[in-house]
């Protein structure tokens, strides 16, 4: 059984971190998985509402995400592309898993802990701020486990920040099987080599869609000019030359990492690439990074613009509907077994 599942939140146009850490891997899976493999890629809008969203903004972001997934090279004939909220079985399985999931395990999740304590997990929130935290944010990993397990996925390509959640999904599958018999499949994590692309302006944080500073991330739809402006304003340091030292030179090392991952054939790893570039000035390094990123993203940008043209609105809607239909069939096959095992 070879079933690939992964998801992305519709919380803005994807950035270079999403692309190198996840989306590029999704396309690779699509192109390299055996023909009999099923590939499911979800726009996880139920996850997106764990923080407050404006309805019309969310609708627009879902559309932009669908266009982005086509733009990076997903083929809707080969891959099932769908919105999570269109397949009710995700929520149904989540409830069943919630009745098994341990509060203790969930409260140890770093993503949850990072919302409890600011800035570096050292200053606990006061009790009134704690009371405002939402149940959905706490149980986010249970929904993520349901997303994967409801399709009995065998392979899940994600960025390194999701490793702990995948471990939890395996725990959910094993726990369910222990109680009800062998129905669910503990999935294998596929980590991309670009583990964590860091913010351009605050290179100790990961690049993120929702960070307030738009200069901190390169969007997959950015023009050549926008890419150059953002890379030029990336935070580096005044030490002459290029070295790879993520602890002492996080900004420079992030640029080297980006350059390496954009074209992994140019050097065996980031350390070796930095050695090749050791005499470059910061300006020259930034120019090299901008050029390489622009070269990688120019096709994506063109395909995105085309997909978002007014005349293609129906085409996008049809892809979403077809994806939801195929994903519902996949989920329903699992849910029959699950309901039966539970006693419904
Ligand atoms: N900086 C990153 N480097 C490598 N991989 C990354 N991913 C996210 N950021 C990086 C991977 O992208 C996939 C989709 O992520 P998501 O949208 O589900 O949520 P996220 O991880 O929370 O991503 P963002 O961009 O930071 O979104 P917001 O700001 O909305 O929370 C995942 O596989 C993730 O590992």
Are residues 148 and 238 part of one domain? no
Cα 238 vs. chain centroid, distance in angstroms? 33
- The structural domain count of the chain equals 2
Instruction: Select from 4, 15, 17 the residue to mutate for testing ligand 1; criterion: most ligand atoms less than 8 Å from CB.
Output: 17
| 125 Cα–ligand 1 center, Å | 24
For range 132-145, the mean pLDDT? 92
Inform me whether the pLDDT recorded for 141 exceeds 60. Answer: yes
Angle between helices 140-149 and 89-98 (to 10 degrees): 120
Over the stretch 48-90, which tens digit does the pLDDT of each residue have? 999 999 999 999 999 999 999 999 999 999 999 999 999 999 9
Identify whether residues 184 and 234 lie together within a single domain: no
Residue 169 sits in the same domain as residue 60:
yes
Q: Report the 3 state secondary structure along 222-270.
A: CCHHHHHHHHHCCCCCCCCCCCCCCCCCHHHHHHHHHHHHHCCCCCCCH
CA of 180 to the centre of ligand 1 (A): 33
CATH of the domain at 285: 1.10.240.10
Q: Is the CB of 193 under 6 A from ligand 1?
A: no
pLDDT for the residue numbered 82:
98
Report the pLDDT value the prediction gives residue 123, as an integer from 0 to 100: 60
Q: Which domain holds residue 297?
A: 221-306
- The token duo for 95 is 């409830």
Lowest mean pLDDT among 25-39, 98-112, 209-223, 312-326: 98-112
Residue 51 domain flag: yes
Does residue 119 register a pLDDT over 60?
no
207 lines ligand 1 (CB under 6 A): yes
> Do 293 and 316 fall into the same domain?
no
* Average pLDDT of span 20-38: 95
Q: Whose CA is nearest to atom 23 of ligand 1?
A: 208
Residue 210 Cβ < 6 Å to ligand 1: yes
CA 239 – ligand 1 centroid, Å: 31
Q: Is 179 in the pocket of ligand 1 (CB under 6 A)?
A: no
The answer to whether residues 294 and 160 belong to one domain is: no
Residue 246 lies in a domain: yes
Is 126 inside any structural domain?
no
Give the pair of three-digit tokens for residue 158.
């994600």
Helices (H), the chain: 16-18, 24-32, 45-48, 55-71, 89-98, 103-107, 110-116, 127-132, 135-138, 140-149, 163-180, 224-232, 250-262, 270-276, 282-307, 313-342
Nearest CA to ligand 1 atom 24: 208
Atom of ligand 1 nearest to the CA of 160: 35
Distance CA 25, CA 41 (A): 12
Catalytic residue numbers?
115, 206, 209
* Residue-level pLDDT at 125: 67
Predicted confidence at residue 120, as pLDDT, reads: 47
**DSSP-assigned beta bridge partners for residue 118:** 123
Question: Do 93 and 236 belong to one domain?
Answer: no
Confidence at 113, pLDDT banded by 50, 70, 90: confident
Q: Is residue 37 part of a domain?
A: yes
Residue 206 forms part of a structural domain: no
Q: How confident is the model at residue 128 (pLDDT cuts 50, 70, 90)?
A: confident
Predicted ipTM? 0.96
Q: Is the pLDDT of residue 232 over 50?
A: yes
Residue-level pLDDT at 287: 97
pLDDT mean over 187-196: 90
Quote the mean pLDDT of the chain.
Answer: 94
Residues 9 and 64 in one domain: yes
Distance 301 CA to ligand 1 centre (A): 19
- What does the CA dihedral 109, 114, 115, 121 come to, rounded to 10 degrees? 120
Give me the CATH number covering residue 35.
Answer: 3.40.50.620
- 192 and 44 inside one domain: yes
Please indicate, yes or no, if residue 129 is contained in any of the structural domains: no
pLDDT tens digits, residue range 270-315? Answer: 999 999 999 999 999 999 999 999 999 999 999 999 999 999 999 9
């Amino acid at each position: 059984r070879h079933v690939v599942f992964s998801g992305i939140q519709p919380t803005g146009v994807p950035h270079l971190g999403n692309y190198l850490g996840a989306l590029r891997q999704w396309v690779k899976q699509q192109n390299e998985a055996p023909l009999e493999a099923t590939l499911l890629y979800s726009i996880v809008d139920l996850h997106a509402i764990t923080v407050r969203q404006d309805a019309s903004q969310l609708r627009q972001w879902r559309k932009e995400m669908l266009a982005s997934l086509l733009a990076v090279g997903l083929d809707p004939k080969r891959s099932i592309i769908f919105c999570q909220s269109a397949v009710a079985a995700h929520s149904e399985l989540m409830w069943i898993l919630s009745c098994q999931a341990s509060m203790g395990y969930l409260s140890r999740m770093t993503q949850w802990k990072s919302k409890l304590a600011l800035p570096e997990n050292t200053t606990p929130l006061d009790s009134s701020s704690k009371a405002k935290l939402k149940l959905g944010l706490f149980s986010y990993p249970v929904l993520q486990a349901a997303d994967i397990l409801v399709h009995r996925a065998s392979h899940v390509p994600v960025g390194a920040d999701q490793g702990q959640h995948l471990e939890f999904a395996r725990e959910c599958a094993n726990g369910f099987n222990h109680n009800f018999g062998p129905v669910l499949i503990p999935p294998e994590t596929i980590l991309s080599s670009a583990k964590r692309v860091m913010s351009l302006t605050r290179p100790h944080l990961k690049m993120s869609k929702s960070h307030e500073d738009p200069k901190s991330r390169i969007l997959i739809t950015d023009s050549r000019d926008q890419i150059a402006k953002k890379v030029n304003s990336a935070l580096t340091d005044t030490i002459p030359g290029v070295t790879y030292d993520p602890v002492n030179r996080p900004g420079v090392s992030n640029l080297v990492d980006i350059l390496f991952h954009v074209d992994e054939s140019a050097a065996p790893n980031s350390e070796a690439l930095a050695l090749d570039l050791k005499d470059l000035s910061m300006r020259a390094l930034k120019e090299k990074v901008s050029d390489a990123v622009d070269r990688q993203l120019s096709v994506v940008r063109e395909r995105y613009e085309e997909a978002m043209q007014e005349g293609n609105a129906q085409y996008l809607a049809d892809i979403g509907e077809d994806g939801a239909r195929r994903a519902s069939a996949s989920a329903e096959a699992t849910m029959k077994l699950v309901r039966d095992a539970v006693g419904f």
